[in-house]
Structure 1
Amino acid sequence: MGFRKDFLWGGATAANQLEGACNEDGRGLANVDLSPVGEARISVITGERKMLDFEDGYFYPAKGAIDFYHRYKEDIALFAEMGFKTYRMSIAWTRIFPKGDEETPNEKGLQFYENVFKECRKYGIEPLVTITHFDFPIHLIKEYGGWRNRKIIDFYKKLCEVIFTRYKGLVKYWLTFNEINILLHAPFMGAGIVFEEGEDRKQVLYTAAHNELVASAWATKIAHEIDPENKIGCMLAAGKFYPLAAKPEDVWTALEKDRENYFFIDVQVRGYYPSYALKFLERNNLKIDITEEDKKILKENTVDFVSFSYYTTRCISAEADKLGEGNLLESMRNPYIEVTDWGWGLDPLGFRTTINEIYDRYQK
């Protein structure tokens, strides 16, 4: 038994990883531009440290990246030479709406992505486009507080309307948010969140999560209305949590950590908050404004497919006191798998386990 002939082999990038040209042709400043290399990076991406403009003494790799903005033709030709059948890429929100809340989109940004998609099509490469890959206008952080603010849903809807209309016939496969569950661990990257002193951080995170989930459902609705051929997916940073031991408390802790990640996809696939999530909100005294319209949009606009990234599995204990280094998602070292110098566990069988578990859970 082999792969289907129409199986889409390919590769993936994010706009901030390769485009560069962060201030050309009207592009605005984004959170991903302000994620520096070095010791400050973690405090910035987790929302602990406010960095809303370039500061002296830091290197910001997204500013120049690999200059795909000017060299996309030769890069896509190389993709074709490698045998790509699909190319997953993302749109920089600030190329289309530099501030995020404008009425009129930036034509030069729209034209750039149109050119990229046409170049892919020339080589028979199917674009798979992420609408938001940790990419959020700085203006929306300064003026609205990021995804904690429901107003962002309307700005996101407008972005979706523009790109679904402009790229109809060029792009069929879309993802609403890259690794949506990462907003719990890197909220500046995942939701444009910078924490204010004294605020309830869980309240902020789960409010932002709800707003993104509602926005994702709206994107699905808009995409299907503009082009019924569109296929809209969600995207999870996956990788199981293993219990450190067969001790029931460890097994339960691993289940809770897996649920923390699957919560987002459960809502996007099933169209409602699962009971364990509602209980979590209740136990933590979190008051999320879930309107009747939200419930309707979520229920009627579930995703067409599930996608995920996989880097490693993780190990957890009810008495975790020795967390592994190098992982944004805290975990303990698994004594049964090899670990790199950077703290990442190498677990290829975990990849198979993850694939089976996700399909068994969703059948999508």
Structure 2
Amino acid sequence: MTYTFPKDFLWGGATAANQFEGAYNLDGKGLSVQDVTPKGGVPFEPGALNPLITDQPTPDNLKLEGIDFYHRYKEDIALFAEMGFKVFRMSIAWTRIFPNGDDAEPNEAGLAFYDKVFDELAKYGIEPLVTLSHYETPLNLAREYNGWTNRKLIGFYENYVRTVFTRYKDKVKYWLTFNEINSVLHAPFMSGGIATPVEELSKQDLYQAVHHELVASALATKIG
């Protein structure tokens, strides 16, 4: 028996904004947790509990520049098309849209950037598959609210979701709410923006943060 993929199967690849966009401080973008974790936000030293977190971005944080997709998106998307991509999974950097996470109004320059990316993808017939939150909680929400341990983040996330759903409703059909919610349990700062040192966190703290993200995910689905 021969098995074949359907003609409309979406072949492609995946990225996250914090890994490859670069331009971490341009056009009104705020800082995310990734911008102060040069080693990725999880402990790499034997026996370590907490990740390396810096006060401000440091030159050894390669994510600050990434592959500079922010400026090279046209040539990169052309290469995706050459590879035969039918779908491109990417994430929106929350801090390009709401630099502090709790801002009253969105940053138009950030919204305009993703308009250009989606238009370029459409030119080649590539469907965007957009992750709303992929390990890049706004740093302000980590420092001022202790990230997803705080129920207030549900409201901030809802505001962000409504903004991008409204802006891109005619350009994006496929959305993902969060990348790997369960990773809060082993990488609380990177995944959940939780600033409390790991050794001071209880399982109750971690599972409460997971619960808040799950509620936010359900709310985003309802809004969609």
- Which residue in the other structure is 1:151 paired with? 152
- Which residue in the other structure is 1:13 paired with? 15
- Which residue in the other structure is 1:349 paired with? none
C-alpha distance in 1 between matches for 2:56 and 2:160: 26
User: TM-score if structure 2 supplies the norm length?
Assistant: 0.92
Number of residue pairs matched?
220
Residue type of the partner of 2:139?
I
Residue type of the partner of 1:109?
G
Residue type of the partner of 1:61?
L
Deviation, 1:84, is 0.1
- The answer to whether the 8 Å contact 1:47/1:186 transfers is no
- The answer to whether the 8 Å contact 2:32/2:136 transfers is yes
- Which residue in the other structure is 2:128 paired with? 127
Residue type of the partner of 1:16?
N
- The answer to whether the 8 Å contact 2:37/2:51 transfers is no
Deviation, 1:199, is 3.8
Per-residue CA distance 1:1-28 (angstroms, 9 max, x = gap):
2000000000000001110000000000
Q: Secondary structure at the match of 1:176?
A: strand
Residue type of the partner of 1:122?
K
- Which residue in the other structure is 2:207 paired with? 206
C-alpha distance in 2 between matches for 1:196 and 1:183: 13
Q: Are the structure 2 counterparts of residues 142 and 150 from structure 1 closer, same or farther at C-alpha, using a change threshold of 3 Å?
A: same
Deviation, 1:62, is 1.0
Q: Over alpha carbons, which structure has the higher Rg?
A: 1
Residue type of the partner of 1:131?
L
Q: Secondary structure at the match of 1:7?
A: coil
Alignment of 1:174-253 (within 5 A): 174-196=175-197, 199-223=200-224
Q: What do you get for the CA RMSD once the two structures are aligned?
A: 2.0
Q: Are the structure 2 counterparts of residues 49 and 84 from structure 1 closer, same or farther at C-alpha, using a change threshold of 3 Å?
A: closer
- Contiguous gaps of at least 5 residues in structure 2: none
1:29 aligns with 2:56: no
Per-residue CA distance 1:224-268 (angstroms, 9 max, x = gap):
xxxxxxxxxxxxxxxxxxxxxxxxxxxxxxxxxxxxxxxxxxxxx
C-alpha distance in 1 between matches for 2:198 and 2:175: 37
- The answer to whether the 8 Å contact 1:48/1:194 transfers is no
**% identity of equivalent residues:** 60
1:137 aligns with 2:138: yes
Q: Secondary structure at the match of 2:43?
A: helix
- Contiguous gaps of at least 5 residues in structure 1: 224-364
C-alpha distance in 1 between matches for 2:140 and 2:183: 22
Q: Secondary structure at the match of 1:73?
A: helix
- Which residue in the other structure is 1:3 paired with? 5
- The answer to whether the 8 Å contact 1:157/1:218 transfers is yes
Alignment of 1:258-297 (within 5 A): none
C-alpha distance in 2 between matches for 1:16 and 1:43: 19
Deviation, 1:61, is 1.2
C-alpha distance in 2 between matches for 1:198 and 1:189: 16
